[in-house]
Homo-oligomer: A and B are copies of this chain.
Amino acid sequence: MIKVDVNKEYLTVEEVSAFQEAFKRCARRIILATTLAGSGHPGGSLSSLSLLLMVYAIAKVDPKNTRKEDRDRVVISHGHISPGVYSVLCEYGFFPEEPFLLEFRRAGSAFAGHVEQAVPGVEWNTGNLGQGLSAACGMAKALKLKGLTRHVFCLMGDGEQQKGQVIEARRWAVKFGLNNLIVLIDYNKLQIGGSIFEVMPQDIAKEVEATNWNLIEIDGHDFQQIFQALRSAILGKVKDPSKPTAILAHTVMGKGISFMENDPKWHGMPLPYDLAKLALKELGFPPDELDILMQKRKETPVRFPHQPHDPLPVSIKLPSVITIYPPDKKTDCRSAYGVALAELAKLNNLGEVPKVLGLTCDLEPSVKMTDFKKVSPQAFFESGIQEHSTASIAGALSKEGFLTFFSTFGVFGIDEVYNQLRINTLNKTALKVVCTHLGADVGEDGPTHHCIDYLGLLLNLPDWEIYIPADPNQTLHIIYAIAQRKGNIFVGMGRSKVPIVTKDDGSPYFDEGYQFQPGKADWLKEGPHGVIVTYGNMVSRALKAWELLKEKMGISVSVLNVASIRPFPEEDLIKASSLKNILVVEDHLVATGLGVHIASFYAQKGLTVNLKLLGHKEPASSGHPDELFKRAGLDPESITKSMIDLIHGIRS
């Protein structure tokens, strides 16, 4: 295992030659692993190999303790070069080579087709290009916040530079002073479609410099040059030491195997049996080991243990009492969120290292992060109109021992960044996404700004808890509750002011004594003739309908508030089924909302009910929310009518 120290000025001839030998050993593993698996990406693995070898030789990472907090991070953004990464990790003693060679790309194995954290030494699951640099930004910022002087090395492909998210991340890194971030671009000039200059002409160097990064251009297979570039970046011997550095490393696709070099065919295809043997021979290894390993692979079950990579824990203080809004207070849930967030900052962020972080994308006043920012400016990250990158950055921060809130409008925090949240999920992040401006409740800004598909999207992320408070008081309870909960959590709310939900005696329903329980719904009203199941900004309208039904029609229904969408309140919904007439009301597309899932739940349980679902059949227009709800049949009068119809449907 080679370790080099950047404090010395040059690599010795012996060191260079040791790297060259290591290159061959790793190239052998790359050929073996991909041919054995019958799939994988040998071409880019070989072009990135010299860079990988040098980065891990320099990086302060302990192969025996890969989760030490005070370590350098190595992020592989072009995750398809997993054979190269695993080969180098073998070389440096993170694990023996046999499980890698025998298990690569097999079902249930840690050694997946794209790099995964299950493998010791891998920091971030990637595979969808363009997201790794954002994750690296999050890690670099986490180190800075903790006062750790470590570096983050991010290896990237060149084709990947085309993704817009990359330049978003680059700007963020400059704004937040990430001079501990070093990017190495594997500039082999080939992507699946052929030459990068033909597929999508791009001047990577010019673009990097346009964002004010330091740029070093080198031969990416010359170990002395790679060492010098990394040394300069680490020691700050660059044009502007306050800025991050990119190393544009000219490389060769398929490097080291004569007949693979510069052929894009080997981007995503393993060598067939005969060529693999030829390659092994060229590298100076006995070709026959391919046959031996093929046989062994067939006989060996998948058994290498997955290395868990849980988020670092964070201990959060909560206020001893929650100051409840009185029944006559007219405010919106997002203001309550702002209050809770500022309170969390006061209790947890006044030490040297803040514990609660907040990120937004040019919507600080709208999402009510202003007070949070005032209390702890060092913990607030105005990330510009760059939602894709910000969602990934926030995900990475949430794993580093920070309670991380990402807030923006629903259409930006869910619809625009769905795939970034999905990759966060695969990385087992612990992000709290709190979106304001859900629903047609947004009103006049119109359909581009109406997020009426948030459940439709979020329910595809199996690990996410989903909470939608009914009023500002329940918002306070939920925000404090999630502050101490692990994992990924979504909290959503509308834009408008909503009435305080009250008990029959007129006092706040969600009072000091209320305890928010995931998986539990709230029976705001109980009546025998049916039940209105609802949540969020529809609750006040359902309660008005309850009143109309009672006063005008003598009908007494229940009103069930489902603030906990996931975990799903099974018990309450079973209880609801006994009321037979069930009307689900939501400011959401009816095709993909809660109603569908309630219906499906009953169908699968074999529970027969009279069910009607109210929601949007199509996008609403621009206009006042009350008008829009009326047009969609979601105003109190329409809800009342629907409930009467439903009840009459049975009686007749």
Contact = CB atoms under 8 A, between A and B. Distances in A.
Interface bin, chain A: 35 or more
Given A112-B446, A159-B385, A608-B608, 19 more contacts: A39-B444, A39-B445, A107-B628, A125-B448, A126-B448, A127-B445, A127-B446, A128-B416, A175-B200, A193-B362, A193-B363, A206-B209, A426-B619, A456-B457, A460-B592, A599-B600, A600-B600, A603-B611, A606-B610
Contacts of A617: 462
Contacts of A171: 162, 200-202
Interface string A100-142: 0000011111001110100000000111111000000000000
15 contacts: A79-B448, A107-B631, A108-B623, A113-B444, A114-B445, A127-B445, A163-B385, A167-B167, A200-B385, A207-B207, A415-B422, A425-B619, A462-B619, A597-B600, A606-B610
A393 interface: no
Query: What are the nearest 9 A-B pairs in CB distance?
Result: A164-B164, A107-B623, A200-B384, A127-B448, A112-B622, A107-B627, A599-B600, A599-B603, A453-B460
B201 A175 contact: yes
Contact of A114 (B40, B449, B591, B600): B449
A165 interface: yes
A105 B448 contact: no
A191 B422 contact: no
A423 interface: yes
Interface in A530-586: none
A556 to B, nearest CB: 24
B419 A415 contact: yes
Interface in A318-351: none
Contacts of A411: 128, 419
Copies of this chain in its oligomeric complex: 2
A621 interface: yes
A21 interface: no
Contacts of A192: 362-366
A624 interface: yes
Given A112-B621, A456-B456, A462 B210 contact: no
Contacts of A180: none
B613 A604 contact: yes
A488 interface: no
A164 B384 CA distance: 11
A471 interface: no
A369 to B, nearest CB: 10
Contacts of A193: 362-364, 382
Contacts of A108: 621, 623, 627, 631
B114 A386 contact: no
Contact of A444 (B105, B126, B365, B385): B105
A522 interface: no
Contacts of A457: 418, 456-457, 460
Interface in A354-406: 362-366, 382-386, 388-389
Interface in A152-190: 159-160, 162-168, 171-172, 174-175
Nearest to A624: B107
Contact of A599 (B362, B445, B599): B599
Interface in A26-43: 37, 39-40
Given A79-B448, A599-B600, A462 B618 contact: yes
A211 interface: yes
Contacts of A299: none
A523 interface: no
B200 A206 contact: no
Nearest to A191: B362
A18 interface: no
B107 A622 contact: yes
Contacts of A445: 39, 80, 113-114, 127
A203 interface: yes
Nearest to A160: B385
Contacts of A107: 621-624, 627-628, 630-631
Contacts of A423: 448
Given A412-B128, A457-B457, A613-B604, A199 B362 contact: yes
A310 B384 CA distance: 35
Nearest to A593: B460
A212 interface: yes
A304 interface: no
A114 B168 contact: no
Most buried by B among A162, A449, A619: A162
A316 interface: no
A53 B129 CA distance: 41
Contacts of A363: 192-193
Contact of A163 (B164, B200, B591, B603): B164
A10 interface: no
A255 to B, nearest CB: 21
Contacts of A164: 163-168, 386, 388-389
B210 A206 contact: yes
A178 to B, nearest CB: 13
A387 to B, nearest CB: 8
A113 B443 CA distance: 9
Nearest to A126: B448
Interface in A423-476: 423, 425-426, 443-449, 453, 456-457, 459-460, 462-463
A609 interface: yes
Nearest to A204: B210
A596 interface: yes
A108 B622 CA distance: 7
A602 interface: yes
A198 to B, nearest CB: 8
A332 B452 CA distance: 36
